[in-house]
Amino acid sequence: MGSEAEAADMFKCPVCNGNVKTGPDDVVISCTYCGSTSTIEGKAIGDHLMETAVDADERMQGFHSFLDKNKGMNKSLVQGCQVVENRLIYVPIWTAKVKADSYYKGYRTVQVPVQKTRTVRDSDGKSRTETYTDYETGYEPVQDEIHTDTDERLLARKGARFYGLEDYLETINLAKTVPYDFQKIKDLEPALLNAEIGQEEFEKAIHGRVADRHRSQAGSGLTELFDCRTTTNVRGTTYLQAPFSLIRYKFEGDLYKAAIDGNTGRVVLGEIPITRGQRIMWTLLGIIGIIVAGGGGELFMGAGMGINVQPDGDIMQIVLGIAAIIIGIIMTFGGFRVLIMTQRTKKG
């Protein structure tokens, strides 16, 4: 499929002199022959890391154990699935330590319990005073600081997104990375993606991201955020090539997908089919839920109206009744939700 583009850029690898076909926006390039990685100006990238990858069989194993863990009562899932795509891609990632300090100021409203007294007239016509608790609004000034020092990662591709990306970036463990060595991964025939975002650009982008995160963290729980100032300090920026694989599989003729961490072969995020049998089971659960909730309602009303209660039994009965109502309603909606769901999404 596909013809060669006539005007593709060529990049001469400074190490092996090979001609590497590159995308127009690539700024960090891995040579497809010797694997050495350099910037578009031909400067070698220092301290450049990668994660090793496992081969297709091991990825399949990880995928099968994911299915096995999530199969539920669908016993035929592992045998019945048919993988149609399982290709290893090395994606370019920038990582850095970001130390961020925010100072913020705002206020929140709270409910203050206030004891009050009032005069009431009882059924005999006598009046007496009683105390009760009322809630009044209080304004609580908040002045605080947020200090974080986190590992931040960014996919070094412009405007790009793929299934499971956020979860995948989370799983990258810098302690497990090794110095980049193309020979170690060559036999897996990975597709190496070049970076379109350079180091300076990454550091700018990551400042904005951390600052925005601090702002939303400061603002959560506040009625109004007056001020929020963040300073960031980015250090230890490293270019990292990380293995990823998207598995697409068919089950009973329908198409599903799963995102695989190529380093461990484990699934980070995947779709799981729901079979007819499972839908029926969940629906039954929902119907049982309706009955449980109804029973709870009976208990509750029964206790409240003083029908067939033993002495002191009614508190117990009310609590049981309410519990049954809540459990029943959760079961009902949980059960019927599965009935109308397309598929389940599970984290690995």
Partner 1 sequence: MARCAFCDANFETGPGDVLLVCPYCGTAQTTEGTKFQDHYMIRVHFDQGEAQTTLLDWVSKQLGVPEDLNVASKFVKYQQIWYPFWISRVDAHTDYQGMGRDANFYNEWPQRRGAYKRIDFFWKPESGAFTRRHEINIAGVKNIDADVRSHPIPTRAKEYFSHAHAEEFDGKVLHSNMTEDQAKKLAHQIAHDRQTNLVLQEVTKIDSRQDKIDVGETFLIHVPVWELEYRYGNKKYKASVSASTGYVIESQYPRSMSFRAGGIGVGLIMLLLGAGLIMLATGILTDLVGIAAMLQGGGLISGGLLAILGLLLIYKGASSKEAKENV
Q: Which helix (H) or strand (E) holds 325?
A: helix 313-339
What is the separation, in whole angstroms, between the first and last Cα of the chain? 34
Q: Which of 16, 44, 112, 284 binds partner 1 (CB under 8 A)?
A: 112
Q: Which residues ranging from 21 to 60 are in contact with partner 1 (CB under 8 A)? A: 22-26
**Cα separation, 105 vs 224, whole angstroms:** 9
CB of 195 to partner 1, least distance (A): 11
CB of 176 to partner 1, least distance (A): 23
Q: Which residues ranging from 127 to 146 are in contact with partner 1 (CB under 8 A)? A: 136, 138-141
Listing DSSP states for 60-115 in one string gives: HHHHHHHHHHH-TT-TTHHHH-EEEEEEEEEEEEEEEEEEEEEEEEEEEEEEEEEE
Q: Which of 207, 242, 258, 348 binds partner 1 (CB under 8 A)?
A: 207
Judged by beta carbon, residue 1 or residue 175, the one nearer partner 1 is: 1
For 253, phi then psi, to 5°, come to 85, -5
Q: Is 253 in the site for partner 1 (CB under 8 A)?
A: yes
Q: Which helix (H) or strand (E) holds 297?
A: helix 276-304
Q: Which residues ranging from 282 to 341 are in contact with partner 1 (CB under 8 A)? A: 286, 289-291, 293-302, 305, 321, 325, 328-329, 332, 336, 340-341
Q: Which residues ranging from 72 to 101 are in contact with partner 1 (CB under 8 A)? A: 91
Q: Which of 59, 273, 282, 317 binds partner 1 (CB under 8 A)?
A: 273
Q: Which helix (H) or strand (E) holds 218?
A: helix 199-219
Q: Is 8 in the site for partner 1 (CB under 8 A)?
A: yes
Judged by beta carbon, residue 294 or residue 313, the one nearer partner 1 is: 294
**Cα separation, 59 vs 327, whole angstroms:** 40
Q: Is 160 in the site for partner 1 (CB under 8 A)?
A: yes
Q: Which residues contact 240 (CB under 8 A, 6 or more apart)?
A: 48, 49, 50, 51, 92, 93, 94, 95, 153, 172, 174, 177
CB of 123 to partner 1, least distance (A): 26
Judged by beta carbon, residue 56 or residue 154, the one nearer partner 1 is: 154
